[in-house]
Each structure stands twice: as C-alpha cells, then as structure tokens.
Amino acid sequence: MPRLAGSSKLLRAMNESAALAHLLEPGMLTRADLRKLTALSTPTISEVLRRLTDAGLVNVVGYNSGRPGPNAEIYAANPDAAYAAAVSVRDIGASGAPSVVAALCDLTGAVRARIESRIDFLHTDPKTALVDVVAELRAEAGVPETRVSHVQLGVAGSYDGGAETIRHVDVPGFGRPGLVPEIAEALGTHVGVDNDVNLAAVAERRRGVGRDADGFALLWLGQEGLGLAIDIGGTLLRGARGGAGEIGYMPLYAPDSTHRKVDLQDLVGGAAILALGQDHGVPGRTPLEVVLAAAGDPAAAGEFFTHLADRIAVGLAAVIAVLDPSLVVLAGPVAQAGGQTLLAAVTGALRRAAPLESTVAVTTIDDDAVLLGALDAGLTAVREALIASIRDNQA
C-alpha cells in the first residue's frame, strides 16, 4: 500500500507540473484546452487546476462565452507567484555606457522594472552593489523580497561553476573567490552566473535569427572586447571551466615567432577599431562612434569595412573550420552599428579567406541582448524550480 500511495502522489505531481508547464507558455487555457494538451481526463484536470489555484500558481482570468452551455473558465499562470531578476555587469572602459543594467520580470515574462546605473567598482564592493540593484528593482516594481526566486548575473568573463568563481573578468572585484555564494546568501535566493555573450545567444535563440537554426555561432563585437557563444541544438557549449568562447585570447602568431605575440583582441577589440578608424580618417571617440560614422559615410565605408571584415574573418574562419555551424550571427553594439554594410564585408572576407559555407547574419535584436538573455535564463530557472517543487512536495 505505501508503494501505491507513493505512486499516486508522483502521478499527481506529474499531472500538476504538466498542466502548469502548458499554462506558463501559451497561458489563457480552458479545462478543455488542457485536457487536449495533456490527454488527462476531465475530472483529473479539474482536480489539478483546483490544486494549482489553491497553491497560488494559477488564476481564473476570464470566461469563454463563445460556446454552448455554461461559460468555460479561462486559466493562466499567476504572474505574481514568482519573479526573476537579471543583472548585466559590463566592462565598459571609456565608452561611457551604464556599467550595470538590470530588470525584473514576473512569472509570465512581463518586465515589471528596469534600471541602469553607473557604479564605480573600484570603490564599491560587488556584493553590496548587486544587493542594492536588486533592492531597487523590487522597490520600483513593488515586489516583496521573498517573491524573487532567482537572480541571473551576466558578466564579461567566464564562470567556473565547480569553483563558483568568475574568471577572465576585468571588472574590479568580480574575480574574487567566494563572491557568488556571498551574493546568493545576502539576497537569500538562487543566483545564476553566465558569460554575457552566452546570454546574448540565449536571447538570439529565443527571439532572434537563431530561433529556427539547428545551431549557430554568435560572434560578439563589443565596445571593448569580443566573445563567442556556441549554440548546439539549443544547448550552449560552456567548456570544462566555463571558458568556451573566449575567442579574444586566440593567438595569431606562434610563440617562437620573431614578431610580438598578437591575439584576436588585438585585431578586433575596441582599441583596434579606434586605431583602424584613425588610419582611415573615420572620426569617433569610441569604437561605436567610429563604426557609425563609417556606416554613414559611403566614401570612407568601403576601405574601413573591408579591412575590419578581413580581421573579423581571421577569427571566424577558424571557428567555422572547427565547428561548421549552419549559421554565424554577428552581434553586439559594433555589429549592430555596422549593420548590412559590415555583413556584406564579412561575407566577402570569409569567401576570400577559405571555402567555407556557413551563412552569416546580423542579429535582429535591437534591445540589450545580454539583459534579455539573462531574463530568459532567469525565467526558465524560476519555472523549472516551480515545476520541480511540485514533484518534490508530492514525493
């Protein structure tokens, strides 16, 4: 009998989690809709909805009066059942951009608050800064502290989950061992950390040109640095210590060369773009301004973009030769500023570099891709945790 009771609890939990999963995605479903989606009986669906409603996870949001008989109740996930926060921390150098951008979304994915701020991490402890940022998000949205179930952090570096340490990061204080557990303890919630370019790829998979691709490589051309994300069938390749995609470190001269060691960052990073602009008479105080100026000046655009694209092709040719992705996405502020002009130049440069056949596209995301990806990753974590908690509580 105990075994039968346990099996019954598990089955009930599976039914509830299946129904909740459907309501989290399309939402606005009737009992009949859920019965078709889950293949459960009408009495079972009714009991499942009762339990989910009593738990505060599901609400009745309306009635369907377009059918004969009694009006059917329409159900949707309760947006206030849980929230996810996303915080993007940037290595901004001299670009003047906000160093922290953050947002808070509810269980349906609706953004309830969004803030930007400049924080001097030379004089502000990262833990203190991030706790304050999340508190500001909660205050703006009017959300209780206990409802924020997950905070997703995006950083210009790699996260070693085993050591719980951020590596290859230039933002002061963020490479300190033990920082991430300290932040989680101070916030009293789960904290996820990922490379900013990986999170941009999460957004590209969900919202951009990578939506229907079998897999893709995303090359991030930022104001300061560059990075690579590798999506394989919707799963990101992170490597043993989270360092996959740190393409800026790719050496271009052998160690025994008589020339100074050069890596891809030296060719395509922010300082290199500024220098390239000066060489071609393109004005601009930041890499973004240089690329925007070149894109708006047909006389300067040809030669500048040809040289920039040849440099980009050096890194992309190696990536394509090893991974053979069906799609390469150019993303980041520099790629967006270059737009179709840069895309045409890079496509031509790749053809000259090697007989490689990957399609190249520019991202179609016109918002902050890292922040959007962090929201998507955080929301997925919150939803999975809710579904898992239903099963665990019934076990």
Alpha-carbon distance 133 to 369, whole Å? 19
Phi, psi for 280 (deg, rounded to 5): -105, 10
pTM of the model: 0.88
Instruction: Say which amino acid occupies 359.
Output: T
pLDDT in tens, 276-305: 999 999 999 999 999 999 988 877 678 899
Q: For residue 116, what pLDDT band results from cuts at 50, 70 and 90? A: very high
Alpha-carbon distance 381 to 104, whole Å? 14
pLDDT at 392 over 70: no
pLDDT in tens, 159-214: 998 899 999 888 889 999 999 999 999 999 999 999 999 999 999 999 999 999 99
All residues at 6 or more sequence positions from 88 whose CB lies less than 8 Å from its CB, including other chains: 100, 101, 102, 154, 196, 199, 368, 370, 371, 374
Alpha-carbon distance 308 to 280, whole Å? 11
pLDDT at 5: 44
pLDDT at 100 over 90: yes
Alpha-carbon distance 378 to 389, whole Å? 16
pLDDT in tens, 326-373: 999 999 999 999 999 999 999 999 998 888 888 999 999 989 999 999
